[in-house]
Amino acid sequence: MPDIDPERLLGDLYKLRTFGAYKTGVHRPSLSAEDVAARQWLVERMTEAGLEAQIDGIGNVFGRRPGAGRRILAGSHSESQNQAGWLDGALGVVFALEASRAIGNDSDGGVDVIAFFDEEGHFGSYLGSRSFIGEVSEAELDKARDRTHGKSLRDALAEAGYAGRRRITIDRERYSGFFEAHIEQGGSLEAAGLKIGVVTAIVGLWDYRIKVTGEQNHAGTTTMKQRKDAGLTLVRLIAAIDRRFREIAGPASVWTCGRMEFEPGAPSIIPGAARALFQFRDCDPEVLARLELALRQRIADANEAGPCTIAMDVIRQSAPAAMNEKFQRAIENAAALHAPNLAIRMPSGAGHDAQHLARIIPAAMMFVPSIGGISHHWSENTSDQDIATGARVFTEAIAGVLRGQNR
Ligand SMILES: [Zn+2]
């Protein structure tokens, strides 16, 4: 059985935390000076671990375990959200590195390690993992800009020294599958006193833009009967959607109206237009379709009732990604050894690089507890003990898959 070194593992996580340290978290947006330095440090750590490591033309850090035999690919992302936590992404990269070091390369196989570029979406949508599976065109890179400061991705890649390098794409034949570890980013594990989340599927996320058109007019002289109040129509619509969703949603469905705007937005003017962003998530494609149908029905009902008109466009509809069943059992078997009775199957409510890899090769995700369920905030944390337990289970699960494929 491979043995991890908890001190080496925690030492690497603490070191990675120094790149862009912010309060107790990190500020390490993609291709910032701190992020580029962290990627270079990862290359050095991978090289010391016996991997052939390089950074490709989109900033993916890839470490290849030399030698013969089957490989598991493992990793996550190394950049952070702005002023965010030290473990989101970093934990999965260092777990993969520790698994690769602990397993080495024996007759059963070994572990390649990857830190995907920009999972956090500073420049686009999963550019690193989607590039790795061959889904990102040069034209998409030409258009990409940082959402905070507007710098083009091409300029940022050139400043980092990555411009003109080849983009590495996956050699599918090499891999038995992909494993990603991550903090839970929710409070379920902690609340239940559990240590390991075995991810069953990553949610599909469906996003919509809703626009109501009414008539802008004087808030004092226009009678209630005469007015076409786009603001009130929108508020009533969202309330009606919420009521209907409570009746038909799945047990794990979540929905959010994250933004509402009224035009012109003044106390004495009836809004002539109103806009909202509306989103829902679920792992079951049938539930997603049912929610969308209900959304469209509420809009049709409101249009029929008048007096305002409502239009809706789809912003995105990502497919839910099922995790490999055999890999889920491998994580459970590993947990039975290192965290007995402390693992549970659960969906992932957040998107991850694994959802893209899952379309190409079998994929697995494993969660460790997040203290207070907090993430995307500098106070995000997980205890050292839970980190070490998670790394033991993660490494043993991968080793179990590598052993199993040769028997
Ligand atoms: Zn993440």
Question: DSSP labels for 261-294?
Answer: EEES--TTEE-SEEEEEEEEEES-HHHHHHHHHH
- Which residue, 342, 332, 336, 352, is CA-closest to 385? 342
Distance 51 CA to ligand 1 centre (A): 24
Please answer whether residues 141 and 153 qualify as being in contact, where contact means their C-beta atoms are separated by less than 8 angstroms.
Answer: yes
Please answer whether residues 357 and 133 qualify as being in contact, where contact means their C-beta atoms are separated by less than 8 angstroms.
Answer: yes
What pLDDT was estimated at residue 2? 87
Please answer whether residues 191 and 374 qualify as being in contact, where contact means their C-beta atoms are separated by less than 8 angstroms.
Answer: no
Distance 263 CA to ligand 1 centre (A): 36
Distance 154 CA to ligand 1 centre (A): 23
In sequence order, the β-bridge partners of residue 73 are 112, 178
- Local structure of 35: helix, strand or coil: helix
What pLDDT was estimated at residue 198? 98
Instruction: Identify the helix (H) or strand (E) that includes residue 366.
Output: strand 363-368
What pLDDT was estimated at residue 107? 82
What pLDDT was estimated at residue 407? 56
The CATH topology of domain 6-202+320-405 is: Aminopeptidase (3.40.630)
- The tens place of each residue's pLDDT in the chain, 407 residues long, gives 789 999 999 999 999 999 999 999 999 999 999 999 999 999 999 999 999 999 999 999 999 999 988 999 999 999 999 999 999 999 999 999 999 999 998 788 999 999 999 999 999 999 999 999 999 999 999 999 999 999 999 999 999 999 999 999 999 999 999 999 999 999 999 999 999 999 999 999 999 999 999 999 999 999 999 999 999 999 999 999 999 999 999 999 999 999 999 999 999 999 999 999 999 999 999 999 999 999 999 999 999 999 999 999 999 999 999 999 999 999 999 999 999 999 999 999 999 999 999 999 999 999 999 999 999 999 999 999 999 999 999 999 999 999 997 55
CA 87 to chain centre: 13
Distance 357 CA to ligand 1 centre (A): 15
- The Cα 19–Cα 42 span in angstroms is 11
- Sketch the domain layout of the chain as residue ranges: 6-202+320-405, 204-317
Distance 13 CA to ligand 1 centre (A): 15
Tokens of 76: 């996550």
What pLDDT was estimated at residue 1? 78
Which CATH number is correct for 204-317, 3.40.50.800, 3.30.70.360, 3.40.1190.20, 3.40.50.720?
Answer: 3.30.70.360
What pLDDT was estimated at residue 406? 59
- The Cα 403–Cα 176 span in angstroms is 11
- Which residue, 224, 172, 226, is CA-closest to 359? 172
- The Cα 199–Cα 365 span in angstroms is 5
Distance 207 CA to ligand 1 centre (A): 20
Distance 362 CA to ligand 1 centre (A): 19
CA 136 to chain centre: 18
Please answer whether residues 111 and 49 qualify as being in contact, where contact means their C-beta atoms are separated by less than 8 angstroms.
Answer: no
Distance 98 CA to ligand 1 centre (A): 18
